[in-house]
C-alpha cells in the first residue's frame, strides 16, 4: 500500500480507507480507491488475483459521473459483474458536496458465478462503509464551519469593541475615523478604503475626505457620484452600494482601476417633522447636485468606501454587515455602548442556542449546559471567598460551564440518545467529546482561556478520568469546578440510566467521592455553601435573578471579558 497520503484526503481518512481495505483483502477481494482521473490512489490486494487498472478506471469514472440514487452501491449493467463501487465525499472536497473519489471492490474473475451471493455481500458492506464515511465527514465539515463562524464573529466583535473603546476618548473626528479605517483593514484585505464626512463649506453641505488607507482616489466629483448612486440603491431597499463585474457587467460606470466597490452610509438620526415640504426641498437639491437626506433612513452624514477586495473576487453580504456596523459606530457616537452590548447579547445568545441544540438531542439533558454554567459560577464565587480568584476568571468559568459539552456536536446522535448500555466502542466515541470541544474552540484565541474547563471536565483527581488521565493538581482549577458542577446536575436530573437524587443524597455522594473523583478543596467549598438555596434558584426553571443582579444579563457581561 502507498505510504503517502493521497491529495484530497486527510490522514485520518486515508487510514480509515486502508484499514477497511485490509479487511476486504482478508476476505479474498481487492479494494481500490480511485480519484477523479481514474488513478488508483489506494490499493489493498488480496493476493489471489490482479485487478485490471483500465477496467477499474472505467468503473470509477462511471461511478463519479453517474452516482447511484440513494445509498445503493453502483453495479455495472453486466449480468455477472465482479465489481461494486460507491462515490465518496472527502472532507477536503470542492465545497459543493461533489464526490471526489470512488471506492471499488473487485471480487475477482468468476467470483459471482462461483458464489452468487458474493457480490451482494460485498455490495452491502461497501454501502454501509460508504454511509459511515460520508456521515463522519459531514460532521467534520459541520464542526469546521461552526469553528470558522465563531472565529469570524470574534474578529468582528474585537474590531467593534476596539472602535467603541476609542470613542470614549475626546479627540478630533479625523483621528477617530482614521483609526476606524486602519482597524478595518486589519481583518478585511482591500486595495483602498476611505471615509468621507459631511462638512458645511460656504453655506453648502459637501462630502470631504477625512480618513483613508491604501490606494483610493476620492475627489469632490467622485464623492458626489458615490453619494447619488448610494441613495439610488437605498431607495431600492438596499443597505449598501455593491458593484462589480464578477457575475455580470457593472451596473454603473467606474474608473478603470476599480474592479469591485462597496459604499455604505454613515447615518445620523432623522429629526421629526420630515414632511412634503422637506421632500420637495430635497428634490430641488438633488437636481442641483447637493447633499440631501434620505427619507426613512436618517440623514446620510458620510460614507465608508472600499475598493478591490484582495482575498476574494468580490464584496459580499458578510462585508455589507461588517462595513455597516463600522459605519454605524462612526456615525452614532452616543450609541457606542448600546451597539456593543447588542453584539455581545447576539454572541452569547448564539452560544446558548448552540448549547441548547446539543442538549435538546436528549430529553434528559435539556437545560443541562446553562445549569452547569450557573453552578460553576456559584462554586467559583464561593471559592473566591477563600482564595484569590479574579472576577474575570469567574466569568470565564461560567462560559466554560456553558460550553463544556459543545464537543457533543461531533458525536453520533444515536450514541447520545441510546437508551441501553453503551458498547465499548460507543463509550470510546462518547469520551471524545471533551477533545472535540477543545478543538472547536482552539482556533479562537479569545476562547483559549476557557478550553481547560471544556477539555478537563471529565478528569478525576485519582487519575481515572479522561481524556488524559490527569491526577490531582495536574487538573486545572477550571476543569475541577466544571466537572463538579456537571456531576451535580447529572445526579439531580432524571436520566435514562438513573433516577434523580435529591439534594441531600447528591451532597452525600459528592462527599464520598472527595479525593477520588472530586478535588477536596473545591468539593468542600461547594458542600459548605448553601446548596439548598442554589437548588431553589435552579427550580425556577429559568434563573432570572441571583442576589441583587439580573442574571439574564450575566452572559453578555461574561462574554465581554474575552474581548479585552
What are 116-151's pLDDT values in tens digits? 567 788 888 888 888 888 777 777 667 777 777 777
Nearest to 45 by CA among 71, 75, 76, 24: 24
Please determine, for residue 91, whether its predicted confidence score (pLDDT) is greater than 70. no
The model's pLDDT over 466-518, given as tens digits with 9 standing for 90+, comes to: 999 999 999 999 999 999 999 999 999 876 666 889 999 999 999 999 999 99
Would you call 549 helix, strand, or coil by DSSP? Answer: strand
pLDDT of residue 21: 93
Confidence grade of residue 525 (pLDDT, cut at 50, 70, 90): very high
- Domain locations in the chain? 11-132, 172-331, 341-563
The model's pLDDT over 263-319, given as tens digits with 9 standing for 90+, comes to: 999 887 654 333 343 444 444 454 444 544 444 456 788 899 999 999 888 998 888
Confidence grade of residue 563 (pLDDT, cut at 50, 70, 90): low
> CB under 8 Å to 494, separation ≥6 — which residues?
364, 500
Going 235 to 238 to 244 to 248, the CA torsion angle's sign is negative
pLDDT of residue 246: 85
Helix ranges (H only) for 190-297 are 220-235, 276-288
> What is the fold of 172-331?
Beta-Lactamase (3.30.450)
Please determine, for residue 349, whether its predicted confidence score (pLDDT) is greater than 80. no
Return the higher-pLDDT residue of 402 and 290.
402
Please determine whether the domains at 11-132 and 172-331 fall in the same fold group of CATH.
Answer: yes
Q: What percent of the chain has pLDDT over 90?
A: 35
> What count of Cα atoms within 13 Å lies in the side-chain half-sphere of residue 238?
19
The model's pLDDT over 53-85, given as tens digits with 9 standing for 90+, comes to: 898 999 888 888 877 665 455 554 344 478 888
Helix ranges (H only) for 68-115 are 111-114
pLDDT of residue 143: 73
Please determine, for residue 350, whether its predicted confidence score (pLDDT) is greater than 60. yes
Cell numbers found for residue 239: 443597505
Q: Yes or no: say if 92 and 144 are a contact pair by the CB < 8 Å rule.
A: no
Would you call 303 helix, strand, or coil by DSSP? Answer: strand
Q: Which residue has the cell 465499548?
A: 424
pLDDT of residue 6: 81
The model's pLDDT over 209-251, given as tens digits with 9 standing for 90+, comes to: 988 989 888 888 899 999 999 999 999 989 999 999 888 899 9
Confidence grade of residue 382 (pLDDT, cut at 50, 70, 90): very high
pLDDT of residue 332: 63
Q: Yes or no: say if 562 and 399 are a contact pair by the CB < 8 Å rule.
A: yes
The model's pLDDT over 405-452, given as tens digits with 9 standing for 90+, comes to: 999 888 888 888 787 788 899 899 999 999 999 998 888 877 889 999
The model's pLDDT over 160-182, given as tens digits with 9 standing for 90+, comes to: 777 767 665 445 567 778 888 88
Q: Work out the mean pLDDT of the chain and round it to a whole number.
A: 81
Confidence grade of residue 388 (pLDDT, cut at 50, 70, 90): very high
The model's pLDDT over 528-543, given as tens digits with 9 standing for 90+, comes to: 999 998 988 887 554 5
pLDDT of residue 93: 40
Q: Yes or no: say if 86 and 74 are a contact pair by the CB < 8 Å rule.
A: yes
The model's pLDDT over 177-216, given as tens digits with 9 standing for 90+, comes to: 888 888 888 888 999 999 988 877 777 788 889 889 898 8
What CA dihedral angle connects 19, 22, 24 and 25, to 10 degrees? 170
Please determine, for residue 98, whether its predicted confidence score (pLDDT) is greater than 80. no
Q: Which residue has the cell 481495505?
A: 21
> CB under 8 Å to 195, separation ≥6 — which residues?
177, 180, 181, 209, 210, 211, 212, 266, 302, 303, 304, 305, 330
Distance (Å, whole) CA 435 – CA 458: 11
Q: What is the C-alpha R_g of the chain?
A: 31
Going 310 to 313 to 319 to 323, the CA torsion angle's sign is positive
pLDDT of residue 169: 46
Lowest mean pLDDT among 117-126, 154-163, 321-330: 154-163
> CB under 8 Å to 476, separation ≥6 — which residues?
452, 453, 456
Please determine, for residue 41, whether its predicted confidence score (pLDDT) is greater than 60. yes
What CA dihedral angle connects 491, 493, 495 and 497, to 10 degrees? 20
What is the side-by-side strand order in the sheet with 83-88?
Answer: 40-44, 30-34, 101-106, 83-88
Going 380 to 381 to 383 to 386, the CA torsion angle's sign is positive
Lowest mean pLDDT among 311-315, 351-355, 508-512, 544-548: 544-548
> What is the fold of 341-563?
Hypothetical protein af1432 (1.10.3210)
Instruction: Tell me, yes or no, if the pTM score tops 0.75.
Output: no
Q: Which residue has the cell 420637495?
A: 280
DSSP E strand stretches across 310-443: none
CATH code linked to domain 11-132: 3.30.450
pLDDT of residue 94: 41
Would you call 125 helix, strand, or coil by DSSP? Answer: helix
Amino acid at each position: 500500500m502507498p505510504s503517502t497520503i493521497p491529495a484530497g484526503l486527510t490522514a485520518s481518512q486515508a487510514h480509515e480507507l486502508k484499514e477497511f481495505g485490509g479487511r476486504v483483502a482478508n476476505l479474498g477481494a481487492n479494494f481500490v480507491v480511485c480519484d477523479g482521473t481514474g488513478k488508483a490512489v489506494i490499493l489493498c490486494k488480496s493476493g489471489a488475483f490482479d485487478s485490471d487498472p483500465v477496467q477499474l478506471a472505467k468503473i470509477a469514472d462511471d461511478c463519479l459521473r453517474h452516482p447511484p440514487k440513494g445509498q445503493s452501491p453502483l453495479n455495472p449493467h453486466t449480468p455477472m459483474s465482479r465489481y461494486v463501487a460507491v462515490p465518496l465525499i472527502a472532507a477536503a472536497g470542492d465545497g459543493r458536496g461533489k464526490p471526489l473519489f470512488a471506492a471499488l471492490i473487485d471480487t475477482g474473475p468468476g467470483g459471482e458465478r462461483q458464489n452468487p451471493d458474493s457480490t451482494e455481500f460485498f455490495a452491502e458492506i461497501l454501502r454501509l462503509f460508504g454511509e459511515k464515511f460520508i456521515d463522519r465527514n459531514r460532521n467534520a465539515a459541520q464542526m469546521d464551519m461552526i469553528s470558522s463562524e465563531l472565529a469570524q464573529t470574534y474578529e468582528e466583535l474585537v474590531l467593534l469593541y476596539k472602535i467603541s473603546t476609542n470613542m470614549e476618548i475626546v479627540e478630533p473626528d479625523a483621528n477617530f475615523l482614521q483609526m476606524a479605517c486602519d482597524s478595518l483593514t486589519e481583518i478585511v484585505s482591500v486595495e483602498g478604503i476611505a471615509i468621507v464626512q459631511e462638512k458645511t463649506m460656504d453655506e453648502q453641505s459637501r462630502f470631504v475626505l477625512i480618513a483613508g488607507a491604501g490606494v483610493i482616489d476620492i475627489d469632490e466629483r467622485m464623492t458626489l457620484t458615490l453619494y447619488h448612486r448610494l441613495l439610488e440603491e437605498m431607495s431600492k431597499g438596499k443597505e449598501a452600494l455593491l458593484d462589480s463585474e464578477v457575475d455580470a457587467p457593472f451596473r454603473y460606470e467606474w474608473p478603470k482601476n476599480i474592479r469591485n466597490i462597496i459604499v455604505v452610509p454613515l447615518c445620523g438620526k432623522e429629526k421629526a417633522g420630515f414632511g412634503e415640504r422637506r421632500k420637495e426641498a430635497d428634490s430641488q437639491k438633488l437636481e442641483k447636485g447637493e447633499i440631501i437626506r434620505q427619507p426613512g433612513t436618517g440623514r446620510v452624514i458620510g460614507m465608508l468606501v472600499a475598493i478591490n477586495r484582495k482575498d476574494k473576487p468580490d464584496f459580499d453580504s458578510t462585508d455589507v454587515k461588517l462595513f455597516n456596523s463600522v459605519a454605524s459606530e462612526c456615525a452614532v457616537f452616543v450609541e457606542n455602548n448600546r451597539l456593543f452590548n447588542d453584539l455581545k447579547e447576539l454572541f452569547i445568545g448564539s452560544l446558548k442556542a448552540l448549547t441548547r441544540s446539543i442538549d435538546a438531542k436528549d430529553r434528559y439533558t435539556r437545560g443541562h449546559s446553562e445549569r452547569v454554567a450557573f453552578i460553576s459560577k456559584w462554586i467559583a464565587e464561593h471559592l473566591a471567598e477563600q482564595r484569590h480568584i479574579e472576577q474575570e476568571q469567574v466569568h470565564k468559568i461560567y462560559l466554560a460551564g456553558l460550553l463544556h459539552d459543545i464537543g457533543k456536536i461531533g458525536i453520533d446522535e444515536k450514541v447520545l440518545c441510546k437508551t441501553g448500555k453503551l458498547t465499548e466502542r460507543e463509550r470510546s466515541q462518547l469520551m471524545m467529546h471533551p477533545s472535540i470541544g477543545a478543538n472547536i474552540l482552539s482556533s479562537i484565541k479569545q476562547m483559549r482561556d476557557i478550553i481547560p474547563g471544556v477539555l478537563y471536565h471529565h478528569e478525576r483527581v485519582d487519575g481515572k478520568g479522561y481524556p488524559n488521565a490527569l491526577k490531582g493538581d495536574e487538573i486545572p482549577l477550571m476543569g475541577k469546578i466544571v466537572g463538579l458542577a456537571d456531576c451535580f446536575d447529572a445526579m439531580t436530573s432524571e436520566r435514562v440510566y438513573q433516577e434523580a437524587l435529591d439534594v441531600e443524597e447528591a451532597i452525600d455522594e459528592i462527599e464520598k467521592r472527595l479525593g477520588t473523583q472530586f478535588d477536596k478543596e473545591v468539593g468542600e467549598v461547594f458542600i459548605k455553601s448553601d446548596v439548598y438555596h442554589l437548588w431553589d434558584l435552579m427550580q425556577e426553571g429559568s434563573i432570572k435573578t441571583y442576589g441583587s443582579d439580573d442574571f439574564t444579563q450575566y452572559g453578555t457581561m461574561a462574554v465581554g471579558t474575552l474581548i479585552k
